[in-house]
Amino acid sequence: MFPASKWYIPGIVDADYLVLGSGLAGLYFALRASAHGRVIVVSKRELTDNNTQHAQGGVAGVLGANDTAEQHIEDTLRVGDGLCAREAVEICVRQGPEHILYLANQIGVAFDRDKNGEFNLGREGGHNMRRIAHVHDMTGAAIHNALLETVRGYGDSITLLPNHMAVDLLTTAKYGGPNAVFGAYVFDQATGEVKTITARAVIIATGGAGRVYFYTSNPDVATGDGVAMAYRVGARVANMEFFQFHPTILYHPAAKSFLISEALRGEGGVLRLRDGSAFMGRYHEMKDLASRDVVARAIDAELKRTGDAHVVLDMTHLPGDFLVERFPNIHRRCMELGIDMRTTPIPVVPAAHYSCGGVMVDGNGRTSVRNLYAIGEASMTGLHGACRLASNSLLEALVYAARAAEDVRSASVNRPLQVAPWYAGDATVTDEAVVVSHTWDEIRRLMWNYVGIVRSDKRLERAARRMQMIREEIREYYWNFQVNGDLLELRNIALVADLIIESARRRPESRGLHFNLDHPAHEQRLAKDTVLSRGDGPAV
Ligand code: SIN
């Protein structure tokens, strides 16, 4: 139907691959795919504004002498609580180490080593083995900075576009063809112009959606944009009810979203109530190293029982020099706030951290819509099941980015000859930005209160009702006013919130990260993914 050769349409930027998002998955894809095509990477803020930069713990991989792939697989499946796709787990666990070594040997990531030059491996919740490769407590930033430097050197084959935010995907369905993606409308945050970028394939690497909750470890950019965009063009989205709450975010009025890595508990940190008593023994045999769903729920229960605002993570029994050397970033930040972890337990609370659900993909990152891929946190590969094993996320981002970069070679050109430019119609500039910020706030509080760590049928029903009204208002606002970054994010986050609520309502049981007071046990018939697609889930 459409010509197979490359062509140029005036006013339209064209590439082979358009990557939405500049975190680990997006950059690693760009690096690998640039071997066979021209890549454009768009990032809605600075290229370093992403979740990867905040990942402290590290990347899980079978790198130690006593570890085996079978043990890593077993830990992942156990924590995933019956919902992991074994194939995805095998792919990540078996192929992960080669990518970690590639980062170390080809990209120059300086992972911590012991005196013999072997990886100095950390341990985190749910792992029965030390298998976390890390760069002190700044692993994500170390990997991302090294990759960014490498990618910047790729000249014409990789174009980096910071401060550009995708508005919507372009699909041939609108032009009378079979449904395939061929680009995106992209909003230039600096000029306000909406550009048209076409490509043989679009890769969603937009990261997580933690900002949907009032308390989160995620930076401001984590608004689920890719999931929302993919859903709007008909892609299947799955398991959105499984939102992971990290047990230990720093509790301090001046600390915004600062993570206290699980690696601290991996090195012997103990969670205590404010009266000094340890409590994890009452909840799980692995105590402080139980999986995150268990630890976050235990803290939530203790806070509700005691009425305290936070619990503490006690590191004071460990050697001070070791703490400063192993966790320099956390030590620095805590000291800035007057907390010396060598002598004072760190105040912590749980907060939204990671979306285990996302755009459903196959073993090569392909979504259910042709020429649309999803990788990293925005995707649902099947690796995490109902609860992600700590530090399996950077692993998944690497493995699936590389697999998608290989598979995408076969994406065939499928573009209409004429592409309609962005049309703003009669939209005017809003003079009431407060509507956007107020609605943002409303959604985030509602999600925290009704769709948080512990849910109930009534809370979910209430959340669904309120979201319906909020989304109607947003739709009206969206069509009447000219787009800007905040409005685009609001539109996306509202849809993502709705997808989470709808998925949670379709799971009347408790499993992994989804805990419903009215259905506290597993239901065998529900041991399957919750899959939503347009027409079947919430209205777009
Ligand atoms: C952490 O350092 O605790 C976060 C690691 C992860 O989310 O996997």
42 and 87 housed in the same domain = yes
pLDDT recorded at residue 2: 33
Atom 4 (ligand 1) nearest CA: 57
Q: 192 and 326: one domain?
A: no
Rounded to whole angstroms, how far apart are CA atoms 41 and 20? 6
On whether both 125 and 182 belong to a single domain, the answer is yes
Residue 174 pLDDT: 83
Task: Convert the pLDDT of each residue in 74-88 to its tens digit.
Answer: 999 999 999 999 999
Query: Cβ-count burial of 155 within 10 angstroms (0-12 exposed, 13-18 middle, 19+ buried)?
Result: exposed
Please check whether residue 416 lies inside any domain of the structure: no
CATH number of the domain that 464 lies in?
1.20.58.100
For a ligand 1 pocket test, name from 135, 139, 391 the mutation site with the most ligand atoms within 8 angstroms of its C-beta: 391
Q: Looking at residues 33-52, what average pLDDT do you find?
A: 96
- pLDDT computed for residue 11 by the predictor: 67
Query: Are 196 and 99 in the same domain?
Result: yes
Q: For residues 443-461, give the mean pLDDT.
A: 97
Between residues 482 and 201, which one has the greater pLDDT? 201
- State yes or no: pLDDT of 434 exceeds 90: no
Q: What's the whole-model pTM score? A: 0.95
Nearest Cα residue to 16 out of 226, 205, 185, 198: 198
Confidence at 421, pLDDT banded by 50, 70, 90? confident
Distance CA 177, CA 174 (A): 7
Lowest mean pLDDT among 130-134, 188-192, 324-328: 188-192
- The CA distance from 188 to 168, in Å, is 13
pLDDT of residue 10: 56
- What pLDDT was estimated at residue 156? 85
390 lines ligand 1 (CB under 6 A): yes
- Assess whether pLDDT exceeds 90 at residue 286: yes
Which ligand 1 atom lies nearest to the CA of residue 394? 8
Of 335, 352, 369, which one is at a domain's C-terminal end? 352
Distance in Å, CA 262 to ligand 1 centroid: 6
Q: What is the dihedral of CA 516, 519, 522, 524, to 10 degrees?
A: -120
Residues 479 and 342 in one domain: no
Is 128 inside any structural domain?
yes
| The pLDDT of residue 477 | 82
Atom of ligand 1 nearest to the CA of 56: 2
Question: Are 405 and 469 found together in one domain?
Answer: no
For the Cβ of 263 lying below 6 angstroms from any atom of ligand 1, the answer is: yes
pLDDT at 539: 86
| Ligand 1 binding pocket includes 439 (Cβ within 6 Å) | no
Please report, for the domain that includes residue 395, its CATH number.
Answer: 3.50.50.60
19 domain-assigned: yes
Give me the pLDDT at residue 412, please. Answer: 86
> How far is the centre of ligand 1, averaged over its atoms, from the C-alpha of 89 (Å)?
18
Is the CB of residue 139 below 6 angstroms from any atom belonging to ligand 1? no
Atom of ligand 1 nearest to the CA of 391: 8
Are 406 and 438 in a shared domain? no
Ligand 1: distance of its center to the CA of 381 in Å?
19
In a domain, 426, yes or no: no
Looking from the CA of 354 toward its CB, the CA atoms found within 13 Å total 27
Q: Could you tell me the distance, in angstroms and rounded to a whole number, from the CA of residue 389 to the centre of ligand 1?
A: 9
User: What rounded mean pLDDT belongs to the chain?
Assistant: 94
Question: 17 lies in which domain range?
Answer: 10-241+356-410
Question: What pLDDT is recorded for position 1?
Answer: 32
Q: Judge whether 423 lies within some domain.
A: no
Q: Give the pLDDT of residue 420.
A: 85
Determine whether the shortest distance from the Cβ of 302 to ligand 1 is under 6 A. Answer: no
Share of the chain above pLDDT 70, in %: 97
Least Cα distance to 227 among 208, 241, 201 occurs for 208
> Annotated catalytic residue: which of 32, 292, 297, 326?
292
pLDDT at site 431:
67
Give the distance (Å) from ligand 1 centre to CA of residue 109. Answer: 18
| Cβ of residue 396 lying under 6 Å from some atom of ligand 1 | no
How far, in Å, is the centroid of ligand 1 from the Cα of 387?
13
Predicted confidence (pLDDT) at residue 305 exceeds the cutoff of 60: yes
Residues 220 and 290 in one domain: no
Handedness of CA 161, 163, 169, 172 (dihedral sign): negative
Q: Considering only CA atoms, which residue is closest to atom 8 of ligand 1?
A: 391
pLDDT at 5 over 80: no
Looking at the fold, whether 274 and 134 belong to one and the same domain comes out as no
Would residue 292 show up in a list of annotated catalytic residues for this protein?
A: yes
48 and 127 share one domain: yes
Same domain, 116 and 94: yes
> Pairing state of beta strands 181-188 and 164-171?
antiparallel
Residue 208 counted as domain residue: yes
Q: What is the CATH classification number for the domain harbouring 315?
A: 3.90.700.10
Does 362 lie in the same domain as 347?
no
Tens-place pLDDT, residues 213-259: 999 999 999 999 999 999 999 999 999 999 999 999 999 999 988 99
Spacing, Cα 311 to ligand 1 middle (Å): 19
Is the distance from the beta carbon of residue 261 to the nearest atom of ligand 1 less than 6 Å?
Answer: yes
Total domains in the chain come to: 3
Tell me the two tokens of residue 260.
Answer: 């206290």
428-460 burial, b if ≥16 CB within 10 A, otherwise e? eebeeeebbeebbebbbebbbebbbbebeeebb
Q: Is 355 in the pocket of ligand 1 (CB under 6 A)?
A: no
Considering the domain boundaries, does residue 105 fall inside one?
A: yes
Res. 9 pLDDT band, cuts 50 70 90:
low
Least confident of 32-46, 394-408, 477-491, 517-531: 477-491
Residue 5 lies in a domain: no
If pLDDT is split at 50, 70 and 90, which confidence band does 36 have? very high
Among 352, 375, 392, identify where a domain stops: 352
